[in-house]
Amino acid sequence: MVITWVLRVLLLMYAISVPAQTQDAFSQALEQIRTGSMGEREQAIETLASDSRALPIFDAWLNGNLFEFKAESRLVIVTESPMGYHLTDASSGLALTEVDRNAVGKINLTNRLRSSLRKAIARLQLDAVDADTRLAAVNTIAKDIDDTGLALLRTHLIDESNLAVRVAIEHIVLLNDIDSSDKATRIAAINALKDHDNRNVANRLRALTEKNADGNYLETDGDVRNLAIAALTRINNRLQVYAAIETVFFGLSLGAVLVLALIGLAITFGVMGVINMAHGELMMLGAYTTFVMQQLLPDSLGWALILSIPMAFIVAALVGIGIERGIIRFLYGRPLETLLATFGVSLFLQQAVRSIFSPLNRSVATPTWMSGSWQINDFLSLTWNRFYILIFCLLVFTALLQLLKRTRLGLEVRAVAQNRGMARAMGIPGSRVDAMTFGLGSGIAGVAGVALSQITNVGPNLGQAYIVDSFMVVVFGGVGNLFGTLVAGFSLGIANKVLEPYVGAVLAKILVLVFIILFIQKKPRGLFPQKGRAADG
Amino acid sequence: MKKPRNVFHKLTFGAVLSLALTSTATVRAEDTIKVGVLHSLSGTMAISETTLKDTMLMLIDAQNKKGGLLGKKLEAVVVDPASNWPLFAEKARELLTKDKVAAIFGCWTSVSRKSVLPVVEELNGILFYPVQYEGEESSRNVFYTGAAPNQQAIPAVDYLMNDLKVQRWVLAGTDYVYPRTTNKILEAYLKSKGVKDKDIMTNYTPFGHSDWQSIVADIKKFGSAGKKTAVVSTVNGDANVPFYKELGNQGVSAENIPVVAFSVGEEELSGMDTKPLVGHLAAWNYFMSVDTTKNAAFIEQWHNFIKNPKRVTNDPMEAHYIGFNMWVKAVEKAGSTNTDAVQKAIIGLEFPNLTGGVAKMLPNHHISKPVLIGEIQEDGQFVTVWQTNKVIDGEAWSDYLPESKPIIADWTPPINCGNFNTLTKKCSGQNY
């Protein structure tokens, strides 16, 4: 009697629980994501991994848009809105209300979860309509391949119609064939892969050529091993070429930053002969202008950055003209006093920035088109921000050169620089030209600040870091010679980068400095000394 | 005859004035206990140290509201050593001789501590040092409330090795004493765990280094050999921003090559664009995000005091919180602010920390701390991914360096020495 009763109850419970479980596995997993620990969240990802409904949730989570709506204890996907966030229910996809930022709490992620998520997303996206999405999915799976992933790819290959995706999958399968038990398959795989610039290929091949502790090769098959060694040598040769290209690029981009920083100095110091210790602080002002512009236009970082180029030029140029009119013009021909006075100005500007913006560094965001890198192949990639700065540097340099060569202002600047008295006698307003020249040099410093804000800290000490290097390169290039400045900046950048891997960053810098000291001993006028009467003035 | 009289007048006036000043000072010294705050308020370190000055003012203020100490009010004497290392020593001397402070709370960089050390030892003062440091030191006059290497660096490496299965190691640091010593200890530790030379890459860069291109490219190459790689970063201060930016730009993500940092906390993150840092790790003994009632109360107290709800709290602030409260308890226990009495009373004292454990002052003048490892989130806070299940005792001398392995510090009788060699049973002449 009792037993039948118990059985009945059990049967009833079973009848209720089984369909409920299958139906609710999805929402249960969502609940786990909302309230669970990191371990439970990982389980939930596994549970949902084959459920295509989970894809938008995973996507939102990875992009930091998955939140908990605290008032209703449910998982929501958010999109930014002027008031705060628009909410969308995660399980049903229905639009909910709009709430302010405090009403929701973010679902946190750790690296472990991020890579599980990426894997799960890639596996779900393997069936995407868009071929590029499929290709990206295949590449993500390939990064951290296991047996499940490989099996998945093999089955997918049967139905795949897009050529690029097929090639990518075949490539992965080939890579796996290197470890096959059939010798012919292995040799075919190595032959097929030896011209690929791919890290995984290189690592697999390297593994074939390694020796164990006793000095014997781990790979017992001699033919396969020799083939692998030959293929690896080819890959290594290509690697060396890429490494050289990379070093030159690094050097050029370091040089570009230097050139940008000192091109304005080349005008004030090189053309006018004024030692402006506040030059670095003018760059700092440019960088802070970028910060302010980004605060003003928080929704379009890219435009803010582009607009800050003319803004920074104007701000720095005005401050520069102020310095020239207020201080420097009384001190022409007295370099020591100019040096001290401008040093005072630099301290003043630093403290002003500290008082206005706080002594903490300000964070200047990088627009997306400037972050990341240009992936040429698996071994060679050039970072976008450096690439843009290099181009920007060349543009600024060309513009400045044209300005000095082609415009009336340029003509007057050169005239005053060569012979002040003669220029005045010819009717050139010397003091106005001085102010304009100084403003031009300062404005370019401001523009350099915009570029620097993208690669280094925006803080009160930004300028100090560059001022010594800048003077050094101007002297090395030849005072008063813009072209010399360019060559000097780039060659020192490359020299630094060639030395760095061998001796470390600290010693590389010292060696370059020693080289410049020795060079100036030998050629005090720098790489490209000015010729003619102006040089003796 | 006018001039000399004038001078005479001035002299008498000056003498009277200085007499008046000293007499008021002595009167005031009797009814207050002075506490020295020695943190840079200008120069490069002002970024980090100004916050600690404010923390001290907040703690002293709170203590005064509770009725002060030994029936007297506490009075903060704030000086500015201006990120200038020799000036730290001068200011410490000024605090101890002129202001006659009962204790000094201060310093950030190791070099500033080393500069203050001889002064506090000579004048028998007390210094509470709140920042994680390289160890290899224990002075009778200094209490180290920040982490020793075994409370930060070693557990972080353990986590990477055991939980993330890291096999190749990049030790990157700024070129000065803290990173060099820490990396020496870490290298010895890694080798003791069977890591080979070719799997360790060490790299030093100057302060404020901004061109990380080739170093990051090297790290990338080093990390692409098919073994899991991690970067242990003792890169300090400003240089971190371009470092993480370059890592992000060259496509090194926290999932491939995680970077664990010992000098990047909430305060530093508040001035950075955190996008490229998300997922990278930091090891500390306190995170603002730790959810305890004590921590919530501390954060609220801080926001009320600083009148800005956006300000963050960080690890050295907690160290000062623990150090200050331990000093208060020690003074109460000893019944005086006398250096020797406080030193005797403070050893063994316990005070609850903000993350739910109890900090204890050990005989080697270090304290016990939990170790937390957190991942950086986009909002500049940390999510704790691992933590020790109990507090860890700070070790002044590392067990992983052959020269300091036999050395212990114990400031209780009978050893009473910060540099005691357990093999030769001798206390080295050097007392720190």
Task: Write the pLDDT tens digit of every residue in B338-350.
Answer: 999 999 999 999 9
Tens of pLDDT, residue by residue over A292-306, are 999 998 888 888 999
Residue in B175, B208, B271 closest to A360 by CB: B271
Q: Check residue B65 and give its pLDDT.
A: 94
A93 interfacial to chain B (CB closer than 8 Å): no
B431 and B296 assigned to the same domain: yes
Q: Does B335 touch chain A (CB under 8 A)?
A: no
**Domain-embedded: residue B2:** no
pLDDT digits 0-9 by tens, B21-64? 444 444 444 589 999 999 998 777 777 888 999 999 999 999 99
- B88-107 mean pLDDT: 96
**Shortest Cα distance, chain A CAs vs residue B133, angstroms:** 23
Q: How confident is the model at residue B1 (pLDDT cuts 50, 70, 90)?
A: very low
C-beta atoms surrounding A216 within 10 Å:
9
Structure tokens at A253: 């981009």
B400 vs chain A: nearest CA distance in angstroms?
26
Does A172 lie in the same domain as A101? no
Choose the closest CB to A465 out of B208, B217, B273. Answer: B208
Chain A residue numbers with beta carbons less than 8 Å from the beta carbon of B258 are 111
Look up residue B126 and give its two tokens.
């007390």
A-B Cβ pairs (cutoff 8 Å, strict) = 122
Domain boundary among B238, B261, B284: B261
Nearest CA in chain B to A494: B214
Confidence of residue B430 (pLDDT cuts 50, 70, 90): low
Whether B377 is in a domain gets the answer no
Last residue of a domain, one of B261, B281, B314: B261
Judge whether B341 is closer than 8 Å to chain A, CB to CB. no
Q: Is residue A411 part of a domain?
A: yes
**Whether residue B238 is found in the same domain as residue B311:** no
Residue A489 sits at the chain B interface (C-beta within 8 Å):
no
A101 vs B: CB within 8 A:
no
Residue A391, Cα to own-chain centre: how many angstroms?
15
Residues of chain A with pLDDT > 70: what percent?
94
Which ipTM value was assigned to this complex? 0.75
> Are B411 and B363 in contact, with CB atoms under 8 Å apart?
yes
Within a domain: residue B21?
no
Q: Does B209 touch chain A (CB under 8 A)?
A: yes
Whether residue B59 is found in the same domain as residue B111: yes
Indicate the pLDDT class of residue B3, thresholds 50, 70 and 90.
very low
Q: B50 CB near a chain A CB, below 8 Å?
A: yes
From A108, A247, A505, residue closest to B215, measured CB to CB = A505
User: Does residue B260 come out as left (phi exceeding 0), alpha (psi in the -120 to 50 range) or beta?
Assistant: beta
B136 lies in the same domain as B179? no
Closest CA to B179 of B161, B155, B210, B203: B203
Give the β-pairing of A381-383 and B73-79: unpaired
Question: Quick check: helix, strand or coil at residue A482?
Answer: helix
Residue A118 contacts B where some CB pair is shorter than 8 Å: yes
CB contact under 8 A, A250 and B217: yes
Same domain, yes or no: B312 and B353: yes
Average pLDDT, chain B: 87
Residue B145 confidence (pLDDT) above 90? yes
Same domain, A413 and A482: yes
- Give me the residue from B47, B249, B385 closest to A383, CB to CB: B249
- How far does Cα A330 stand from its chain's mean position? 44
Token couple for A70: 């605290």
- Of A451-460, A523-532, B221-230, least confident by mean pLDDT is A523-532
Tell me whether residues A360 and B276 touch, CB distance under 8 A.
Answer: no
Contact A384 B249 (CB under 8 A): yes
At residue A416, what are phi and psi to the nearest 5 degrees? -65, -40
The answer to whether position B359 is within a domain reads yes
Kindly state whether residue A107 falls inside one of the protein's structural domains. yes
Q: Are residues A316 and A350 in the same domain?
A: yes
Query: At A536, is the pLDDT very low, low, confident or very high (cuts 50, 70, 90)?
Result: very low
Residues B36 and B137 in one domain: yes
pLDDT tens-digit readout, A130-189: 888 888 888 887 777 777 777 888 888 887 778 888 888 888 888 777 777 777 778 878
In a domain, B180, yes or no: yes
Whether residues B95 and B165 share a domain: the answer is no
Interchain contact, B210 vs A110, CB within 8 Å: no
Same domain, A103 and A152: no
Q: Which residues of B touch A114 (CB under 8 A)?
A: 254-255, 279
Task: Looking at the structure, tell me whether residues A333 and A404 fall in a common domain.
Answer: yes
Flag whether A7 is in a domain.
Answer: yes
Statement to judge: residues B103 and B162 lie in one domain: no
Distances (CA, A) of A319 to A258, A267, A289, A310, A467: 22, 16, 13, 14, 18
Any CB–CB contact under 8 A between A247 and chain B?
Answer: yes
Q: Which of A108, A250, A362 sits opposite B383 (nearest CB)?
A: A108
Q: What residues contact residue B220 under an 8 Å CB cut-off, 6+ apart? A: B250, B251, B252, B257
**Closest alpha carbon within chain B to A248:** B214
Q: What percentage of chain B has pLDDT greater than the value 90?
A: 56
C-alpha A464/C-alpha A346 separation (Å) is 9
Please tell me whether residues A83 and A152 are part of one structural domain.
no
Contact B249 A365 (CB under 8 A): no
A253 to chain B, any CB pair closer than 8 A? The answer is yes
Amino acid at B421: N
One domain for residues A437 and A481: yes
Give the domain extent around B328.
32-147+292-369+406-432
Highest mean pLDDT among A66-70, A299-303, B183-187: B183-187
Number of domains in chain B: 2
Q: Evaluate whether residue A245 is within a structural domain.
A: no
**Domain contains A28:** yes
Q: Give yes or no for a contact between A138 and A126, defined as CB atoms under 8 angstroms apart.
A: yes
Q: Which of B217, B257, B253 is nearest to A383 (CA)?
A: B217
Residues of B in Cβ contact (< 8 Å) with A61: none
Whether chain B has a CB inside 8 Å of the CB on A383: the answer is yes
In percent, the amount of chain A with pLDDT more than 90 equals 15
Q: Do A474 and A508 have their domain in common? A: yes
Show which of A112, A147, A169 is a domain's final residue. Answer: A112
For residue A456, the chain B residues in CB contact (below 8 A) are 210, 241-242
Percentage helix, strand, coil, to 5, in chain B?
40, 20, 40
Residue A208 has pLDDT above 90, yes or no: no
Residue B224 in any domain: the answer is yes
For the segment A462-472, what is each residue's pLDDT rounded down to a tens digit?
A: 888 788 788 88
Within a domain: A253: no
pLDDT of residue A6: 58
Q: Give me the mean pLDDT over the A391-418 stretch.
A: 89
Shared-domain flag, residues A359 and A438: yes
Residues A290 and A432 in one domain: yes
Q: Between residues B365 and B423, which one has the greater pLDDT?
A: B365
Q: Within this chain, do residues B428 and B312 fall inside the same structural domain, yes or no? A: yes
Q: Do B115 and B157 lie in a common domain?
A: no
Of A196, A200, A162, A192, nearest to A174 by C-alpha is A192
pLDDT tier for residue A4 given thresholds of 50, 70 and 90 = low
Interface contact A386, partner B, CB < 8 A: yes
From A158, A191, A220, the end of a domain falls on A220
Binary contact (A365, B273; C-beta < 8 A): yes
pLDDT of residue A465: 77
Residue A11: per-residue pLDDT: 53
Q: Are residues B325 and B424 in the same domain?
A: yes
CB-CB neighbors (< 8 A) of B309 in chain A: none
Alpha carbons within 13 A on the beta-carbon side of A226: 3
Report how far residue A179's alpha carbon sits from residue A224's, in angstroms, rounded to the nearest whole number.
11
Out of A41-45, A366-370, B58-62, B271-275, the most confident range is B58-62
Cβ <8 Å between B224 and A199: yes
d(CA A359, CA A352): 10
Smallest CA–CA separation between B51 and chain A, in Å? 11
Q: Which of B219, B239, B261 is the last residue of a domain?
A: B261
Quick one: pLDDT at residue A5?
Answer: 62
Residues from chain A contacting residue B383 (CB–CB below 8 Å): 108-110
Domain, as residue range, for A214: 126-220
Considering only CB atoms, A111 lies closest to which of B274, B279, B379, namely B279
Chain A residues inside the 8 Å CB shell of B271: 360-363, 457, 459
Q: Would you state the structure tokens that stand for residue A221, as one six-digit string?
A: 């098959």
H or E stretch covering A301: helix A301-326
Q: Model confidence over A497-515: pLDDT tens digits? A: 888 888 888 888 889 889 8
pLDDT tens column, A43-59: 888 888 778 788 888 88
What is the percent of chain B with per-residue pLDDT over 70, rounded to a whole number?
92
Element (H, E) at A440: helix A430-453
Chain B touched by A236 (CB under 8 Å): no
Mean pLDDT in residue range B399-406: 87
Please tell me if residue A198 touches chain B, with a CB cutoff of 8 Å: no
Which of A58, A83, A112 is where one domain is finished?
A112
Q: How many domains does chain A have?
A: 3
For the packed helices A222-265 and A384-406, what is the interaxial angle rounded to 10 degrees? Answer: 40
| Whether residue B225 is found in the same domain as residue B307 | no
Question: What number is the average pLDDT over the span B186-207?
Answer: 91
pLDDT digits (tens, 9 = 90+) for A260-277: 888 888 888 777 778 888
Return the residue of B nearest to A465 by Cα: B208
Are residues A489 and A347 part of one domain?
Answer: yes
Q: How many helices (H) and strands (E) does chain A have?
A: 20, 7
Mean pLDDT to the nearest integer, B58-81: 94
Instruction: Name the H helices within A95-130.
Output: 111-125
- Interface touch A203/B175, C-beta < 8 Å: no
- Distance, in Å, from the CA atom of A65 to the CA atom of B338, rounded to the nearest integer, reads 57
Please give the C-alpha separations between residue B327 and each of A314, B59, B104, B330, in angstroms, as whole numbers. 55, 12, 11, 5
Shortest alpha-carbon distance between residue B214 and chain A (Å): 7
A42 and A91 belong to one structural domain: yes
Q: Which residues are paired to B203 by β-bridges?
A: B172
Question: What are the chain B neighbours of A509 within 8 Å (beta carbons)?
Answer: 206
Q: Check whether B81 has a pLDDT greater than 80.
A: yes
Tell me: the pLDDT tens digits for A323-336? 999 988 888 878 88
Q: Do B255 and A371 touch (CB under 8 A)?
A: no
Q: Is A209 on the interface with B (CB under 8 A)?
A: no
Is A457 close to B258, i.e. CB distance below 8 A? Answer: no
Chain A positions in Cβ-Cβ contact with residue B210 (cut-off 8 Å):
455-457, 465
- CATH number of domain containing B208: 3.40.50.2300
Best A357, A363, A458 residue to mutate vs chain B (most B CBs within 10 Å): A363
For chain A, what is the radius of gyration of the CA atoms? 32
